[in-house]
Amino acid sequence: MGEEVSDLGRYSDPALFILVSLAGGEKHGYAMMEDIEATCGVRLGPGTLYGALSRLERRGLVEPLVSEERRKPYRITAAGASALGRRLREIEGFARAGLGRLATA
């Protein structure tokens, strides 16, 4: 997909949390909520999680996996991993700039 990282736009926080969670391996919704809370200190509600998953899936950044169980696992796609890497590097650069400014204040 030709989507730019900035296209995560208004949903960047839940989308970013989900992509980071799935970068650690495939997970179903409840496992993602638990992982996001443990990793990021944020508890996403089911509506927020599944709404963001749906948007990420439409953009080709995550994909559902076939499961014989009731729970549907998801995994990050190559496009999703690439977008996540670019977004995290942007955040890292922003944080470095901000910390540098604070150090000189």
Measured CA angle at 94 (ends 56, 43), to 5 deg: 45
| Structural domain includes residue 1 | no
The answer to whether the beta carbons of residues 74 and 49 sit under 8 Å apart is no
Residue among 80, 76, 71, 75 at smallest CA distance from 30: 71
Please state the domain count of the chain: 1
pLDDT, residue 29, reads 94
pLDDT (mean) for 78-93: 94
Question: pLDDT tens-digit profile of 62-77?
Answer: 999 998 788 889 999 9
- Whether residue 4 contacts residue 61, with contact meaning beta carbons closer than 8 Å, is answered with no
| 25-73 residue pLDDT tens | 999 999 999 999 999 888 999 999 999 999 999 999 999 999 878 888 9
Domain of 63, in residue numbers: 8-104
Task: Pick the closest to residue 16 from 65, 63, 62 (CA basis).
Answer: 62
Residue 15 sits in a domain of what CATH number?
1.10.10.10
Asked whether residue 42 is domain-assigned, the answer is: yes
Above 60 in pLDDT, residue 12? no
| Total-model pTM | 0.84
Q: Has residue 3 been placed in a domain?
A: no
